[in-house]
């Protein structure tokens, strides 16, 4: 036997044993990691589930969106850290091997649950009452934020939150709640406020119960219905000669002499007896709940369901002057600005009340706003279900409701996407209809009433092209702003009903005692004066020079800004570039006429214009709006949204945007993932377009841009 071979054999054996030992160590380590991770896995899943629930709550938030956003931002940082931990579990052996991290993680989940509960409470008005009299919002927010930040630090999850402005926002939350209630018409006293919360909570509770019973098709105890909502006897009301239509008549109660409206909703000729019974039971169940809305003076009062001469009637309060369209058609000359604002505010208060009770009207239009003998408007023709609406009024997709219909509902019939066909009606759809009605009140004519031939087709085409209903000079800019925000094409940008109420409440105070012609009482912007002069003073010896948009831009660069401004004003309704420059001048306060408007209002108008023109593809507007989002000027800081708009501008060749995007990618941070390759590409493009800072940054970081 060759000894060398024997020795070699021993060496091979030793090597094999060594490899085996190492493999066993690795396998043992992996087994240990798997064992440790198995304890964390359900906690990670729970943590992310709570985080996703917080995101859903934020999206549904009606109040205090900014405050909720502060906490949401923290939660998204935490979720990103936990997802990364889960993804790179084999690289985080040390983390999963520490028992204290398991304990911390359990506590962190409880902290997230606390944030979820807090957001659920403060984001909806009816759940805010617990904070209304204790002034504890600031304390609760601070405690949650401090606890959260502590867990992030102890778990070594790196994050940066700029909290310098958070407490300033939080401090005014209670005052904002009271302002909302005032704008809803709720007096500033504890009893009235408590009554508002009690009633809306009760109606909401009963509404949810009704919806659940309907969904499950539960059999209703008829004896209980007879006890809670007995049929009214039609013979207890005297008939009158007043009958606005075949189905509607005025009657007077023998008991208290109140005038009421009897609206027939079924009879023997149109339905079987069984169907009739089902229908009247359905209506009575809903009316039993709707009667609770009597505390709102902005909603028509329900009295019950009456039976008379084999017919069933919905009984409500009598509204002497019919619907709003009929009223303003007859009384147009007597309706001044103050009356219009009162109508608008009362309608919005009614919608707000319904929304707080989780009731959607589903057909907001002037035909469904009624006017009583005291010239007060009230919301009518709604129920808790679509079936109620179908029974008590013939609601079809016709010309009248199409005038007010949100794009996401109006355009689905022309879209082959089956997913879009399933879009349900929600409060955002209703806000669009409210916006259209507010336009109608301002102009005293129906939306799109200028379309004579094929109006339904043409309205759809207009909406598809994002057409904006035009205003005349007499409409206050604040009113225009509200309507524009309410009728945003994209639902997510629409203003909510509480904001609309607050704006009209401010207008009601500002224009109190306004005359029919508000041009004598209101400070108008230059553009409004310009429109007035071009329409009414055509024979005036004063001549106004109007340049083309390109020439106006050149005059702006030369410093002749008054001439440029009046040219941009003239072209702004038909030219996107001119509209952008209009926003530019509102933003920069360089025109004397605009200096009469408060800075806050100017900036708000400017930002609205920047967003509108940015969405229509103007790169300069995309840059401006992106920068406003980045700095939080006039809007909440949103670096992700800002980045989106800045990138749009950069991709359209704007050098300044190229530089900002390049720098953001190069350095990372503020929610932007570092990507030096993309950063270098944008910086090179900006440098090639002679952007000085881009050139400087390229040289400093050895980025060649000449080849």
Same domain for 377 and 506, yes or no, is: yes
Q: Which residues contact 397 (CB under 8 A, 6 or more apart)?
A: 405
Helix (H) or strand (E) holding 283: helix 273-290
Q: Do 500 and 382 sit in the same domain of this protein?
A: yes
| CA–CA distance, 634 with 52 (Å, rounded to integer) | 29
Beta carbons within 8 Å of 132's beta carbon, 6+ residues apart: 174, 177, 178, 193
Q: Which of 467, 361, 448, 450 is nearest to 407 (CA)?
A: 467
Specify the DSSP element, H or E, that contains 661: helix 655-667
Taking the CA atoms of the chain, what radius of gyration do you get in angstroms? Answer: 32
Of 310-319, 515-524, 629-638, 660-669, the one with minimum mean pLDDT is 515-524
Of 565, 596, 597, the C-alpha closest to 583 is 565
Residues 241, 118 within the same domain: no
- How many CB atoms sit inside 10 A of residue 80's CB? 14
Claim to verify: residue 546 and residue 486 sit in the same structural domain: no
Same-domain check for residues 49 and 162: yes
CA separation (Å) from 310 to 228, 239, 246, 250? 22, 16, 16, 18
pLDDT per position as a tens digit, 111-133: 999 999 999 888 877 777 777 66
Q: Where a domain ends, among 270, 285, 317? A: 317
250 by DSSP, 3-state: which?
Answer: strand
Which domain does 263 fall in, by range? 220-317
Alpha carbons 394 and 69: distance in angstroms, whole number: 42
Q: Is 220 helix (H, G, I), strand (E, B) or coil?
A: coil
pLDDT digits (tens, 9 = 90+) for 165-183: 566 666 666 677 778 888 8
How much is the average pLDDT of 55-69? Answer: 83
Same-domain pairing of 432 and 551: no
Is 322 contained in some domain? no
The rounded distance, in Å, linking the Cα atoms of 7 and 28 is: 31
Q: Judge whether residue 533 has pLDDT over 70.
A: no
Sign of CA dihedral 544, 549, 555, 561: positive
In a domain, 191, yes or no: no
Q: What is the reported pLDDT for 22?
A: 43
Pick from 292-296, 457-461, 573-577, 675-679: least confident: 573-577
Tell me the HSE value of 669 on the side-chain side, using a 13 A CA sphere: 10
Inside any domain, residue 215: no
Give the domain CATH number at 259: 3.30.200.20
Q: Which pLDDT score, from 0 to 100, does residue 374 have? A: 87
For residues 540 and 583, state if they share a domain.
yes
CATH code of 450's domain: 1.10.510.10
| pLDDT tens sequence across 552-576 | 888 888 888 888 888 888 778 778 8
> Is there a domain that residue 372 lies in?
yes
Q: What is the pLDDT of residue 171?
A: 65
Provide the number of structural domains found in the chain.
Answer: 4
Q: Is the pLDDT of residue 289 over 50?
A: yes
Give the pLDDT confidence of 387-427 residue by residue, as tens digits. 665 555 544 457 788 999 999 998 875 445 544 456 788 99
pLDDT band at residue 33 under the 50/70/90 scheme: low
pLDDT, one tens digit per residue, over 465-492 is: 999 999 999 999 999 999 999 999 999 8
- Euclidean distance between CA atoms 100 and 639, whole angstroms: 35
Pair 440, 552 in one domain: no
Express each pLDDT in 511-525 by its tens digit. 875 433 322 332 233
Work out the mean pLDDT of the chain and round it to a whole number. Answer: 81
Has residue 196 been placed in a domain? no
DSSP alpha helix (H) spans, 123-253: 129-132, 137-154, 166-171, 173-183, 190-216, 222-228
Whether residue 339 sits in one domain with residue 480:
yes
Instruction: Based on the fold, state whether residues 126 and 241 are members of the same structural domain.
Output: no
**What's the pTM?**
0.62
> Quick one: 104 and 139 in the same domain?
yes
146 vs 534, more confident: 146
3-state secondary structure labels for all residues of 360-421: CCCCCCHHHEEECCCCCEEECCCCCCHHHHHHHCCCCCCHHHHCCCCHHHHCHHHCCCHHHH
Which of these, 526, 542, 446, 524, lies nearest to 479 by C-alpha position? 524
586 within some domain: yes
Average pLDDT (539-561) is: 72
462 lies in some domain: yes
Which residue has better confidence, 266 or 268? 266
% pLDDT > 90, the chain: 33
Quote the pLDDT of residue 123. 82
Residues 346 and 464 in one domain: yes
How far separated are the first and last CA of the chain, in Å rounded? 72
Which range, of 94-108, 144-158, 254-268, averages the lowest pLDDT?
254-268
Q: Which pLDDT score is estimated for 368?
A: 95
What is the structure's pLDDT at 518?
29
Q: Last residue of some domain: 463, 482, 510?
A: 510
- The CATH number of residue 603's host domain is 1.25.40.10
Could you tell me if residue 8 is inside a domain? no
Of residues 461 and 538, more confidence is placed in: 461
């Amino acid at each position: 036997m060759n000894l060398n071979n024997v020795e070699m054999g021993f060496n091979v054996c030793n090597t094999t044993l060594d490899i085996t030992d190492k493999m066993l160590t690795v396998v043992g380590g992996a087994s240990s990691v798997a064992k440790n991770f198995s304890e964390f896995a359900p906690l990670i899943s729970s943590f992310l589930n709570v985080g996703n629930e917080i995101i859903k709550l934020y999206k549904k938030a009606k109040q205090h969106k900014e405050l909720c956003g502060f906490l949401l931002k923290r939660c998204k940082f935490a979720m990103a850290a936990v997802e990364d931990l889960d993804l790179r579990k084999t690289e985080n052996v040390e983390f999963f091997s520490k028992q204290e991290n398991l304990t911390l993680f359990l506590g962190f989940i409880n902290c997230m649950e606390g944030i979820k509960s807090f957001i659920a409470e403060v984001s909806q008005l009816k759940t805010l009452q617990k904070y209304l009299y204790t002034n504890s919002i600031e304390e609760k927010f601070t405690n949650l934020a401090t606890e959260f930040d502590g867990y992030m630090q102890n778990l070594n999850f790196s994050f940066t939150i700029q909290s310098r402005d958070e407490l300033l926002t939080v401090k005014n939350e209670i005052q904002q709640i009271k302002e909302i209630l005032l704008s809803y018409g709720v007096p500033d006293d504890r009893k009235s406020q408590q009554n508002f919360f009690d009633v809306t909570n009760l109606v909401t509770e009963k509404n949810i119960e009704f919806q659940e019973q309907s969904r499950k098709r539960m059999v209703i105890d008829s004896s209980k219905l007879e006890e809670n909502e007995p049929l009214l006897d039609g013979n207890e009301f005297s008939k009158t000669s007043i009958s606005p239509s075949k189905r509607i008549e005025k009657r007077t109660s023998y008991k208290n002499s109140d005038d009421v409206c009897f609206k027939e909703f079924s009879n023997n000729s149109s339905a079987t007896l069984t169907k009739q019974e089902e229908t009247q039971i359905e209506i009575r169940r809903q009316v039993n709940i709707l009667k609770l809305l009597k505390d709102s003076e902005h909603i028509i009062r329900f009295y019950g369901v009456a039976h008379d001469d084999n017919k069933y009637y919905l009984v409500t309060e009598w509204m002497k002057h019919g619907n709003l369209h009929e009223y303003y058609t007859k009384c147009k000359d007597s309706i001044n600005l103050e009356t219009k604002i009162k109508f608008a505010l009362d309608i919005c208060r009614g919608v707000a009340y319904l929304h707080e009770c989780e009731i959607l009207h589903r057909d907001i239009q002037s035909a469904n706003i009624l006017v009583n003998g005291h010239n007060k408007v009230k919301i009518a023709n709604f129920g808790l279900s679509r079936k109620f609406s179908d029974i008590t009024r013939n609601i079809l997709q016709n010309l009248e409701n199409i005038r007010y219909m949100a794009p996401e509902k109006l355009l689905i019939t022309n879209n082959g996407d089956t997913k879009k066909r399933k879009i349900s009606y929600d409060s955002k759809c209703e806000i669009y209809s409210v916006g259209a009605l507010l336009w109608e009140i301002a102009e005293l004519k129906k939306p799109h009433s200028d379309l004579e031939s094929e109006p339904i087709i043409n309205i759809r085409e207009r909406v598809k092209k994002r057409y904006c209903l035009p205003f005349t000079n007499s409409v206050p800019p604040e009113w225009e702003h509200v309507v524009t925000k309410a009728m945003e094409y994209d639902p997510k940008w629409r203003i909510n009903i509480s904001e609309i109420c607050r704006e009209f409440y401010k207008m009601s105070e500002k224009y109190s005692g306004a005359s029919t012609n508000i041009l004598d009482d209101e400070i108008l912007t230059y553009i409004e004066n310009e429109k007035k002069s071009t329409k009414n003073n055509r024979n005036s010896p004063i001549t106004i020079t109007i340049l083309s948009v390109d020439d106006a831009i050149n005059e702006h660069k030369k410093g002749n800004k008054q001439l440029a401004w009046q040219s941009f004003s003239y072209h702004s309704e038909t030219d996107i570039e001119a509209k952008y420059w209009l926003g530019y001048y509102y933003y920069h306060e360089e025109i004397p006429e605009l200096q009469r408007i408060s800075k806050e209002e100017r900036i708000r108008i400017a930002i609205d214009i920047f967003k509108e023109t940015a969405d229509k593809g103007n790169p300069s507007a995309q840059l401006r709006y992106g920068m406003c989002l980045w700095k939080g000027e006039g809007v909440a800081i949103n670096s992700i949204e800002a980045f989106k708009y800045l990138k749009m501008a950069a991709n359209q060749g704007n050098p300044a945007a190229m530089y900002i995007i390049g720098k953001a990618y190069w350095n990372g941070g503020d929610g932007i993932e570092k990507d030096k390759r993309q950063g270098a590409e944008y910086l090179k493009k900006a440098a090639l377009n002679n952007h000085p800072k881009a050139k400087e940054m390229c040289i400093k970081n050895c980025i060649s841009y000449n080849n």
